[in-house]
């Protein structure tokens, strides 16, 4: 079998799908994207496609290593997201060619179901609690919310109190029947992270995500030394080489590689194994579409240390399309009591509504994240 063609579709809300065709008629789908820089990743996919066309798609390891190493320069969000989408599509092709779901090719099921969590948008406590109650009614008991709004490098106690009020009121309204993680989203720098984590600790959040940016990961062990709240990070780490130093330095309790940013299934299985060796759990980052989610689930079902799966149903920044809009076999993604179950169709197990993908990809608007400013006019992290 040989790869014959790569086609990309940029789609609402802020996604990109990749279709890889072969001379035997088997087609694989991947989801290579960096939210807000889809066109840059698209260009990279087509440049890297030169190394893939004409090759045997079964040789995933060789293609991956070629894409990573043969360009001399490597790593980073654009190149690793392009590789991720190609890698996902190749696993999809392999599974379809062999007639088995991808998790079988990864060694088979290590669990029967995986717990999912749901984002709750809104910065006011009442909105958060309202969102949680609706999601709890359909079976979710684990949530993630923003830990704070924009936070200055050195900010005032009113900002800290506002952040703490959300956690306090969530606990008051929902008790300990639910769990919630708090995503600092890279908005917080080391000086305020110390303060915030201390104040939030009494409300026992399940984890604090990106307490500081991954580029400041040397603070993770220092912050972990001051708190019992597990620290999560990984959506802005793009390979096992990025994770290596963070894992070795300690401080991380939950690794959150993104299957569409960190080299795909091939690389994230390795990241998962590295994390397991450090007693670090796995909770793949996934605010993206159905192919990314399916890829995550296959890794979760084959990785002992996987504990939670993010998913984007109803997520506040996906406007214009929902997780399963482009999926034919929606029923395979049905959650029960907040758990996902194995996808049992050959390959990734996602049947794409290609007609709709083609239609919706026409004149797709470019998504950009908001640009925030501090009161003094300097740029703030979103």
User: What count of other Cβ atoms lies within 10 Å of the Cβ of residue 364?
Assistant: 17
CA distance 357 to 369: 23
Contact predicate 294/323, CB 8 Å:
no
Beta bridge partners of 15: 11
Contact stretch for Mg ion (CB under 5 A) within 81-89, 176-184, 240-248, 313-321:
176-184
Closer residue to Mg ion in complex, CB, 85/186: 186
Tell me the site size for Mg ion, rule CB under 5 A. Answer: 2
Closer residue to Mg ion in complex, CB, 29/184: 184
Minimum Å gap between C-beta 144 and Mg ion is 8
Contact predicate 301/114, CB 8 Å:
yes
Q: Is 235 annotated as a binding residue?
A: yes
Contact stretch for Mg ion (CB under 5 A) within 65-73, 165-173, 204-212, 347-355:
204-212
Beta bridge partners of 11: 15
241-260: contacts with Mg ion (CB under 5 A): none
343-372: contacts with Mg ion (CB under 5 A): none
How far does CA 367 lie from the centroid of its chain?
17
Q: Which residue number places its CB atom closest to Mg ion? A: 183
Minimum Å gap between C-beta 284 and Mg ion is 12
Minimum Å gap between C-beta 185 and Mg ion is 6
Contact stretch for Mg ion (CB under 5 A) within 126-134, 149-157, 209-217, 372-380:
209-217
Residue among 183, 242, 267, 300 that touches Mg ion (CB under 5 A) = 183
Closer residue to Mg ion in complex, CB, 209/332: 209
Closer residue to Mg ion in complex, CB, 71/121: 121
Minimum Å gap between C-beta 235 and Mg ion is 5
Written as one string, the DSSP assignment of 264-328 is: HHHHHHHHHHHHHHTT-EE--B--S-HHHHHHHHHHHHH-TTB--EEE-TT-TT--S--TTTTBS
CA distance 70 to 85: 18
Active site residue 261: no
Closer residue to Mg ion in complex, CB, 233/302: 233
Closest to 192 (Cα-Cα) out of 143, 253, 225, 149: 149
Minimum Å gap between C-beta 210 and Mg ion is 6
Minimum Å gap between C-beta 209 and Mg ion is 5
Contact stretch for Mg ion (CB under 5 A) within 36-44, 65-73, 177-185, 320-328:
177-185
Q: What is the DSSP letter of 379?
A: E
Closest to 68 (Cα-Cα) out of 278, 267, 232, 354: 267
Q: Is 337 annotated as a binding residue?
A: no
Closer residue to Mg ion in complex, CB, 304/382: 382
User: What count of other Cβ atoms lies within 10 Å of the Cβ of residue 2?
Assistant: 13
Which of 185, 261, 298, 316 is an active site residue?
Answer: 185
Contact predicate 284/259, CB 8 Å:
yes
Which of 46, 261, 285, 298 is an active site residue?
Answer: 285
Strand pairing report for 339-340 and 114-119:
antiparallel
Beta bridge partners of 145: 182
Active site residue 298: no
Residue 42 is a binding residue for Mg ion (CB under 5 A):
no
Alpha-helix residue ranges (DSSP H) falling in 175-229: 190-200, 219-226
- Chain residues that interact with Mg ion, rule: CB under 5 A: 183, 209
What amino acid positions are annotated as catalytic residues? 185, 285
């Amino acid at each position: 079998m040989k790869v014959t063609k790569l086609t990309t579709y940029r789609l609402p809300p802020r996604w990109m799908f990749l279709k890889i065709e072969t001379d035997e008629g088997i087609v694989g789908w991947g989801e290579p994207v960096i939210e807000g820089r889809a066109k840059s990743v698209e260009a990279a996919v087509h440049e890297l496609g030169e190394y893939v066309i004409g090759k045997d798609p079964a040789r995933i390891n060789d293609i991956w290593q070629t894409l990573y190493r043969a360009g001399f320069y490597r790593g980073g969000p654009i190149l690793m997201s392009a590789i991720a989408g190609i890698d996902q599509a190749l696993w999809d092709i392999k599974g379809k060619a062999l007639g088995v779901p991808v998790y079988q090719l990864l060694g088979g099921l290590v669990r029967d179901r995986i717990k999912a969590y749901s984002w709750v948008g809104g910065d006011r406590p009442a909105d958060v609690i309202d969102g949680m109650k609706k999601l709890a009614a359909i079976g979710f008991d684990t949530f993630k919310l923003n830990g704070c709004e924009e936070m200055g490098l050195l900010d005032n106690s009113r900002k800290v109190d506002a952040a703490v009020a959300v956690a306090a009121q969530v606990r008051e309204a929902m008790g300990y029947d639910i769990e919630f993680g708090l995503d600092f989203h890279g908005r917080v720098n080391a000086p305020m992270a110390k303060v915030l984590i201390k104040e939030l600790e009494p409300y026992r959040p399940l984890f604090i995500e990106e307490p500081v940016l991954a580029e400041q990961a040397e603070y993770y062990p220092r912050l972990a030394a001051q708190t019992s709240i597990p620290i999560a990070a990984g959506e802005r780490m793009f390979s096992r080489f990025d994770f290596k130093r963070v894992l070795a330095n300690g401080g991380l309790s939950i690794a959150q590689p993104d299957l569409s940013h960190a080299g795909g299934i091939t690389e994230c299985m390795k990241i998962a194994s590295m994390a397991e060796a450090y007693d670090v759990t796995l909770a793949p980052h996934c605010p993206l579409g159905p192919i990314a989610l399916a890829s995550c689930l296959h890794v979760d079902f084959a990785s002992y240390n996987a504990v939670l799966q993010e998913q984007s149903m109803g997520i506040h920044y996906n406007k214009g399309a929902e997780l399963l809009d482009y999926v034919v076999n929606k029923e395979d993604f049905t959650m029960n009591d907040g758990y996902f179950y194995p996808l049992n169709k050959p390959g990734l197990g996602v049947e794409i509504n290609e007609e709709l993908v083609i239609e919706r990809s026409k004149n797709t608007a470019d998504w950009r994240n908001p640009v925030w400013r501090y009161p003094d006019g300097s740029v703030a992290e979103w």
